[in-house]
Amino acid sequence: MAGNSVRRRGRPPGTIKRSQDKSLEVIISDDEDNVDEDAGQAAGSNLSSASSDLSSLQDSDFELPENPLDATPQLLKALDESLKNSAAKRKNISEKDSSNTKDMDIDEERTTEPRKRAKTNKETTAVIAKTKPPPAPVKIDFVISLQKLDQLNKLATKRKPFGVRSFDLERTDDWDALKLELIKITETSFPNKLIDLEQYEISYTIPRKSSDPVPLLNEQDFLTILSLTKSSKSPLVNIYVCERKPQKENNDSSSDSDSSSSSSEDRTSKRKASDHSKKKKKKKEDKTKEDPMNIALTAKVKLLQETHKCSDNDGSDYCFWTEADREHRPLSKTMLRSWGEALLKEDDDIATIKKPPNNQHFDRFNTEKGRISPLLEKRLNNARHSSAVPTIINQIHMPAEFIPQ
């Protein structure tokens, strides 16, 4: 039914006739001559779509009558519904095509959008980098504890400051900047002192880095401070400035020729030399101050050691033996000292080089049985030569009546 043509219904009723090729034709108006030209053009444009709709009726189950006038209202209604369904299908197909084209457009936009975003992000970061100010340099806070001369002999952890000062330096500052700040502080805090850092003992500590005070003498020490505080966001350094004893004035020529670094090294070397000389002097003084009795006792003990050196391998270096029994009796240091003290009395009855003293240390060495100590013997002799013991007179008192007249 390729050649079918349909006039739109809903207008005034017309006639239905079958053409020579048995195609169905619906006449909208009885008088075709009265049809408006514009309506005819519109109907012509719709004929192409209607023909496609009617073409779908070829395969339908509807039996078209040979005479169009015999078409029933039910048949016409069924034809209208079939035409509506075909129009709806065609509309869905067109919508799917349009949605596919939209999806393709969206995919293209999605692929191009990240590139645009990347470009915009790079441009914004470049603008921010140009407009963002550089970060401020990290500053190091210095806290200065000022200490008087009377605190010098105390331990560094027990010194009490009389004043505290503070200042800060940037990490780009050098050793001279730190020295300048220290000179300003010492000049105002110690007015009677010379403007010279060598007149003070300077040390530093860094929290959580260096708890014990470390000397601050030269630029190398300052570089150590910078390296220790490099990782800290808010670095803090405690500096201790303690007053020293005034040193003797040297020749101006020698003081002018020495530089700051060499003077610090000389100062440390002189300090070591003075400590070494003090130790030597102390040893000499100890030797000179030794008790003469100790010197004599040491000499006696050495004499006994040479005389009673043991030749047997019995575990003792010194021993005592006699010709009578030739028994080796070991001598300890305590026994040799006691024997030496007895020899200092220079009494042959008490002790000699060959005869030990008679005391508790040498009880088992005494070969004379029943011998008493010289001290006890002396006391007994004194008792013999003393005056006789007075006789006891017993007086008896009797009553007078018993006495004869």
In a domain, 220, yes or no: yes
Handedness of CA 33, 36, 37, 43 (dihedral sign): negative
Measured distance CA(139)–CA(235) in Å, rounded: 7
In a domain, 54, yes or no: yes
Q: Are residues 86 and 168 in the same domain?
A: no
For residue 147, CA distances in Å to 66, 144, 199, 202, 215 come to 131, 10, 13, 10, 15
Instruction: Note whether 3 and 118 are same-domain residues.
Output: yes
Residue 86: inside a domain, yes or no? yes
- For strands 210-215 and 236-243, give the pairing: unpaired
Q: Show the domain range for 93.
A: 1-132
Query: Does the pLDDT of residue 147 top 70, yes or no?
Result: yes
Residue 44 has pLDDT above 50, yes or no: no
Q: Residues, the chain, total?
A: 405
Q: Per DSSP, what are the bridge partners of residue 24?
A: 18
Q: Are residues 153 and 113 in the same domain?
A: no
Say whether both 216 and 323 belong to one domain.
no
- Range 72-79 average pLDDT: 76
Tell me the C-alpha distance between 333 and 233, whole Å: 67
Same domain, 54 and 123: yes
Please report, for residues 75, 101, 120, 298, the alpha-carbon distance to residue 142 in angstroms, rounded to integers and kept in the order given.
107, 72, 46, 61
Per-residue pLDDT at 6 exceeds 80: no
Q: Which of 216, 246, 276 is the last residue of a domain?
A: 246
- 106 and 24 in a single domain? The answer is yes
pLDDT at 373: 62
Same domain, residue pair 150 and 70: no
Q: Are residues 221 and 299 in the same domain?
A: no
Mapping DSSP onto H, E and C, the string for 114-156 reads: HHHHHHHHHHHHHHHHHHCCCCCCCEEEEEEEEECHHHCCCCH
Domain identity same for 47 and 100? yes
Residue at a domain's end among 208, 223, 246: 246
Stretch 198-205: mean pLDDT, rounded? 89
The pLDDT of residue 33 is 43
Same domain (yes/no): 126, 145 = no
Residue 239: what are its φ and ψ, rounded to 5°?
-115, 135
Give me the helices (H) in 190-251, please: 219-228
Per the CB < 8 A criterion, the answer to whether 363 and 369 are in contact is: no
- The enclosing domain of 148 has a CATH number of 3.10.20.90
How many domains does the structure of the chain reveal?
3
Note the pLDDT of residue 374.
Answer: 64
- Pair of tokens at residue 291: 């008790």
User: Are 107 and 232 within one domain?
Assistant: no
**pTM of model > 0.85:** no
Last residue of a domain, one of 109, 132, 155: 132
**pLDDT at residue 175 is higher than 70:** yes
For the stretch 214-270, pLDDT in tens is 999 899 999 999 999 888 888 999 999 988 877 665 544 444 444 455 555 556 666
pLDDT 10s digits, 290-349: 677 788 888 888 888 888 888 776 667 788 877 776 677 788 888 888 888 888 888 888
pLDDT > 90 fraction of the chain, expressed in percent and rounded: 8
Q: Is residue 395 part of a domain?
A: no
- Strongest mean pLDDT among 51-60, 70-79, 194-203: 194-203
Decide if pLDDT at 53 tops 60: no
169 lies in the same domain as 127: no
**CA–CA gap between residue 187 and residue 241 (Å, rounded):** 12
